[in-house]
Chains A and B, each alone.
Chain A
Amino acid sequence: MSFGRANQQWCTFSRLWYLVNADRQPPGGLATLIAKYLQGVHKPIYHALSDVGDHVVVINSKSVAYSGNKWEQKMFHSHTGRKKGRLRMTAAQVHQIDQSWIMRRMVYQQLPNSGLRRTQFQRLHVFEDDNVPNELMENISGVLTPPRRIPKGLSDYTQEEIDAFPKLFSKDNFFLKR
């Protein structure tokens, strides 16, 4: 019994799951990347009316990094529709309440305002830290490279690597002492 090219079609239209680490990343820049994957723009079969987007799992959204003075200056607005129903908060205030809200909000803004917007947004899974449930981690098949390159800190090296690093001079007892 042969399925012909059915398997190929299933593979082509299957939804993939991607993982992104939002640690020290700009929320807006990361959201443009994620929104493309949620829409399926990265695929050659992309069409605006067909739902071909992938799932994206974002971890460490608590340590997202705005540049400049945006934590104080950037405002998020809401209005209940009634009189005096205006809500206005800085990014820092919002981040204190919910550490994954900013990331979700920025991605939602990047998605096009069409009928598929809510559906595509439901395929975004944001977590404050790296504690992701196993049933999600089982699906993940790829990792996205975030826009900003993270430099390696001194604490990221092991003691062996630090010892192996060539030293130009060694400190004696009288180093910088007067």
Chain B
Amino acid sequence: MFLTALSWMYRVKPPVRDRWWKIQRLKEQGRHFWFQSLRARVGLSRIFIRRALVNQTKARLARPYMRNKFRSERLESAVKEYGVKPNQFRVDLHSAGVKLNKNMLNVLSIYEPRTFERITELAQRSQIEKIYKNHVELPKRSFTSAK
């Protein structure tokens, strides 16, 4: 019986909710509702504020996927300008030992088009080398020997 009484004493208490701080937070977050009164910002706009925060969370979770897709699309279009297949391009760069990531390739394709053209050429050369390798012995310094 005494133990039960003690557990009631040491229970996990919920945090004390201060109405004043909540209002301050809503005022701060709903500052851009300048066309509404301060009272409405705390009352009506809190629905929009909550929805905005939910959307923000969703966007934060989806952002890496969107970014990845965006970079892939850009790289595809950049590679197609030189008549190279995008998937084959990735494979060939790997066999040539090029460690540039998707973002860096995007940057090169936009700001350094000549460098990017040479990279596509390198990919094509390494693809040819892979076929030749089955028939003849390649010299020591070849594009695909870097790997």
A residues apposed to B, CB below 8 Å: 12, 41-46
Closest to A48 in B: B70
In the complex the two chains form, is A41's CB within 8 Å of B110's CB?
Answer: no
Bound-state Cα–Cα, A1 to B77, Å = 35
- Give the complex CA separation of A46 and B76 in angstroms: 11
- In the complex, which residue of chain B has the Cβ closest to the Cβ of A36? B77
Chain A neighbourhood of B74, CB < 8 A: 44-46
For B98-133 the 0/1 string (1 means CB < 8 A from A) is: 000000001001100000000000000000000000
- Smallest CB–CB gap between B24 and chain A, Å? 35
Instruction: Return 20 A-B CB contacts under 8 Å, by A number.
Output: A12-B110, A41-B73, A41-B77, A42-B77, A42-B80, A42-B81, A43-B77, A44-B74, A44-B75, A44-B77, A44-B78, A44-B81, A44-B106, A44-B109, A44-B110, A45-B74, A45-B110, A46-B73, A46-B74, A46-B77
Closest to B79 in A: A44
The SS class assigned to the A binding surface is loop
What residues on B are CB-neighbors of A41 within 8 Å?
A: 73, 77
- Shortest CB distance A43–B (Å): 6
**Chain B residues close to A by CB (< 8 Å):** 73-75, 77-78, 80-81, 106, 109-110
A122: shortest Cβ distance to chain B, in Å? 23
Rounded to whole Å, the gap between the CB of A107 and the closest CB of chain B is 19
- How far is B74's CA from A156's CA once the two chains are assembled, in angstroms? 40
A49 to chain B, nearest CB (A): 11
Chain A residue nearest in CB terms to B78: A44
In the bound complex, what is the Cα–Cα distance between A42 and B75 (angstroms)? 10
Q: Give Cα A45 to B80, complex, Å.
A: 13
Q: Which among A43, A44, A46 has the greatest number of chain B C-beta atoms within 10 A?
A: A44
For the complex, give the distance between the alpha carbons of A41 and B80 in Å.
11
Docked Cα-Cα span, A45 to B74, in Å, equals 7
Chain A nearest CB: distance from B80 CB in Å?
Answer: 7
For residue A38, give the distance in angstroms from its CB to the closest CB of chain B: 14
Provide the bound-state CA to CA distance between A43 and B73, in Å: 9
Task: Report A-chain residues with C-beta under 8 Å of the C-beta of B81.
Answer: 42, 44
Most interface-central of B77, B78, B81 (chain A CB within 10 A): B77
Nearest-CB residue, chain B, relative to A12: B110
- Measured CA separation A46–B75 after assembly (Å): 10
Cβ–Cβ < 8 Å partners of B73 in chain A: 41, 46
| Whole-angstrom distance between the Cβ of A83 and the nearest chain B Cβ | 37
Residues of B within 8 A of A44 (CB): 74-75, 77-78, 81, 106, 109-110
| A39 to B: closest C-beta gap in Å | 11
Bound-state Cα–Cα, A15 to B74, Å: 18
Closest to A44 in B: B78
Q: Could you say which residues of chain A place their CB within 8 Å of the CB of B80?
A: 42
Q: Roughly how many angstroms separate A46 CA and B77 CA in the complex, as a whole number?
A: 9
Q: Which residues of B contact A12 (CB under 8 A)?
A: 110
Q: How far is the CA of A41 from the CA of B72 in the complex (A)?
A: 12
Closest to B74 in A: A44
